[in-house]
Structure 1
Amino acid sequence: MSDLPADLLADYAHPDGPWLRANMIASADGAATYEGLSGGLGNETDKLLFQALRPMADAIIVGANTVRIERYGKAPVPMAVVSRSLDLDFASPLFDGRPILITVSDAPRLAEAREHAEVIVAGEGAVDFGAAVAGLHRLGLTKLLCEGGPTVLGGIAAAGLLDELCLTLSPRLVGGAAPRIVRGPALEEGMSLAAVRQDGDHLFLRYRRSS
């Protein structure tokens, strides 16, 4: 698999200091998945960008449902998996690298989870993403990459924590009941377009928080 052009990678260089970016993909009509998976929307450049952004981060934030559906394994940097229920297979390859689990104080299996992962307790009943990100920062993980799913990204955006959105726009029309890239409360988050790239019929958009 060929590498991405150096000038494209330079577009995605992290600024100094703490930074939280999300990398997502959507169809032309706003669907976040095709036939239940995000990968069905992308092209080769999208796959390469997905792989390239990961080692730029100190940690990857991802929801437990996305881990199950997309069959996540070990990543090049620590994984921070968000799960209120801790309904996870602790024998899966994901836990070979002792990931981070972000959960709530009343989650079941909390003691068991601590045997297999570094646990950050952030909130009760619902995940407090501000506390979760603060916990990651205390571990020295300040350059963060969110890979979804929509509920996790919605929580991050609602907490005012999203600095950058890397969005691949697919030319596919999906229709149906596919989710959008953000699920949760209504938002009034303004973002500014920082860069646009094109590869065939796919667009690679980069938005940053409006100042």
Structure 2
Amino acid sequence: MSVTATIVMGADGCTSLNGTSTQVTSPADRQNFLQRRRMVDCIIIGGNTARNEPYVKTPVPLVVISRQSHPNLPAAHVWNIDPCDGVIRAAKEFGENILIEGGASFISYLLDKNVIDSLELSLTPATGGSDVFDFAKYLARADSLDEKKVDGTIFYTAHFKKQK
């Protein structure tokens, strides 16, 4: 199984402005984001992301892990289970190449539980938002780290070894 998490954040660590990531993202991040989603078997998001982000259409099955129903996402699979169990179930039902597109707390939870193999983080110049992601903590734990800069956005790819 391959589990990749992706998150966009501003220079101050914010992952949302006015409740959504659309004002934090950049054109380079958006292009990377759209390309990445076409290469996976399934996308998993948390309930907060489902409520605040535009997930009307995705190129692969969408799983929402939440305790609430999400009527605005009729095509989504909504599971009221632990996120770690959701990743295992999604791999069994849709394929082993999983993409996590959650918020700071959702991704932090999965990183802390050692479920994520790689973290793809986009750092844009945006500032002044909320939902801060402690990216330095997770990049410091990476077994390998790649960095590239495209049009003012820094892209980090951190790889983690699974702990038994």
| TM range, smaller chain | 0.7 to 0.9
Match of 1:170 in 2: 124
From 93, 112, 134, the counterpart of 1:158: 112
Q: Confirm or deny: 8 A CA contact 1:25 1:181 kept in the other structure.
A: no
Q: Distance in 1 between matches of 2:144 and 2:18?
A: 29
* Higher RCO (C-alpha under 8 Å, 6+ residues apart): 2
What does residue range 3-42 of structure 1 map to in structure 2 within 5 Å?
A: 18-42=1-25
Shift of residue 192, structure 1, vs aligned partner: 3.5
Residue identity in the other structure for 1:46: D
Residue identity in the other structure for 1:100: H
TM-score by length of 2: 0.86
Paired-residue identity, %: 25
Match of 1:61 in 2: 44
SS at match of 2:28: helix
Greater C-alpha Rg: 1
Q: Confirm or deny: 8 A CA contact 1:197 1:205 kept in the other structure.
A: yes
Residue identity in the other structure for 1:162: I
TM-score by length of 1: 0.68
Residue identity in the other structure for 1:198: K
Aligned residues: 160
Q: Which runs of 5+ in 2 are unaligned?
A: none
Change (3 A) 1:209 1:58: same
Match of 2:160 in 1: 209
Cα deviation code 1:92-116 (max 9, x no counterpart): 3x31x3x22221xxxxxxxxxxxxx
Residue identity in the other structure for 1:139: E
Q: Confirm or deny: 8 A CA contact 2:91 2:98 kept in the other structure.
A: no
Segments of 4+ in structure 1 off by > 3 A?
none
Change (3 A) 1:74 1:173: closer
Shift of residue 154, structure 1, vs aligned partner: 2.4
SS at match of 2:23: helix
Q: Distance in 2 between matches of 1:87 and 1:190?
A: 35
SS at match of 1:197: strand
